[in-house]
Amino acid sequence: MKTPHPLPEELRGRPFTLVDASVAGVSPRRWRHGSLTYRGRGIRVEGTTTAFPLSVRVRPFIEVNELCAASHVTAAELHSLPQRRQDEARDDYHLIRPEGAAHLDRPHVIVHRMKLFEDEVATLDGIPVTTPARTWLDMAELLSVDEIVAMGDACVRAPRFEFEGRSMPLCSIWDLQRTIDRHRGKRGLRKAKEALELIRVGSDSAQETMLRLAIVRAGLPEPELNVPIITEDGVRHHEPDLSYRKYRIGIEYEGEHHGDESQIARDITRSERYAALGWTEVRISKRHMVNDAKPAAAKVLVALAQAGWRRGS
């Protein structure tokens, strides 16, 4: 087999369609060359695709399959919604088609045929994808109630513009409720309804959500989420991840990045600030989240009891 001509730069290392190849000037003979891997009718790839973002990798599979949009696990990843850690080598994509559309059986795609309203599909990075609210409901088929709550919290949280480049939530609690109401009988609906009652605005991470749920299930009062400490003189201080203003308790979840030297310095400064304000700081890490986060809830209970809280009070 003769050495093939190099592909145009824009096609290297990513899946591309026959249309892409034609526009880039790739000949039919080059398209059929054995150096290209067959990824389904009308799609080829040369080399590995892992270096490209998901939107680039999934786009060809949507373009060659009519009436499709990215959905479920794929849509959740595109929206940066928390879900179970996926196999990084995963090479299948979830697509949704309206119910009644013809059956579709192609390699590398998992097709879901179900009721789909026109306003439940948006464009993200140039490709059609189910909206955050519809993605949340679809994922109720696959996740536990707590995981659905964490995803819902991520949907409705107010983002920080300086870090994320947006100031509006992905959707509202009303959007989630509306999506439930228009899909009666859908798989996962019972879990979605249960999760909706537990979703709160204010959580900045799935870990914070899981911690909040564990605290409440332990019979402790529900904490506030990322509410700033404001002293009597009106000065606004930092925002604890979770807090009880009445008892002057701030709860901080420390992820893996808290091992960084610069973060350690910031954490020390934060602890000093808590002490200066007369607040108690409760620091929670991954090791406290084992066994359904009972060790974390126990640590919060100790702080509440020391501050004067009693069950039934």
What is the tens place of the pLDDT at every residue in 172-192?
999 999 999 999 999 999 999
Confidence at 1, pLDDT banded by 50, 70, 90: low
pLDDT of residue 66: 82
Report the C-alpha gap between 162 and 283 in whole angstroms.
Answer: 25
DSSP calls for the chain: -PPPPPPPGGGTTS-EEHHHHHHTT--HHHHT-TTSEE-STTEEE-S--TTS-HHHHHHHHHHTSTT-EE-HHHHHHHTT---SPPPTT---EEEEEETTSPP---TTEEEEEE---GGGEEEETTEEEE-HHHHHHHHTTTS-HHHHHHHHHHHHS---HHHHS--S-S--HHHHHHHHHT-TT-TTHHHHHHHHTT--TT--SHHHHHHHHHHHHTTPPPPEESPPPB-TT--B----SEEETTTTEEEEE--GGGGSHHHHHHHHHHHHHHHHHTPEEEEE-GGGGHHHHHHHHHHHHHHHHHTT--TT-
CA distances from 254 to 32, 174, 258, 276 (A): 52, 31, 6, 21
Helices 290-306 and 206-217, packing angle to 10 deg: 70
pLDDT of residue 106: 82
Residue scoring higher pLDDT (142 or 40): 142
Of all residues in the chain, the percent with pLDDT exceeding 70 is: 94
Residue scoring higher pLDDT (28 or 49): 28
Of all residues in the chain, the percent with pLDDT exceeding 90 is: 64
Q: Lowest-pLDDT range, 43-47, 78-82, 202-206, 225-229?
A: 43-47
What is the tens place of the pLDDT at every residue in 226-267?
999 998 888 899 999 999 999 999 999 987 655 566 777 888
Q: Lowest-pLDDT range, 81-85, 153-157, 285-289?
A: 81-85
Query: What is the pTM assigned to this prediction?
Result: 0.89
CB proximity list for 137: less than 8 A, separation 6 or greater: 176, 179, 180, 183, 186, 188, 189, 192
pLDDT of residue 90: 61
Please state, rounded to an integer, the average pLDDT across all residues of the chain.
90
CA distances from 1 to 22, 27, 35, 192 (A): 22, 17, 9, 55
What is the tens place of the pLDDT at every residue in 109-129?
999 999 999 999 999 999 999
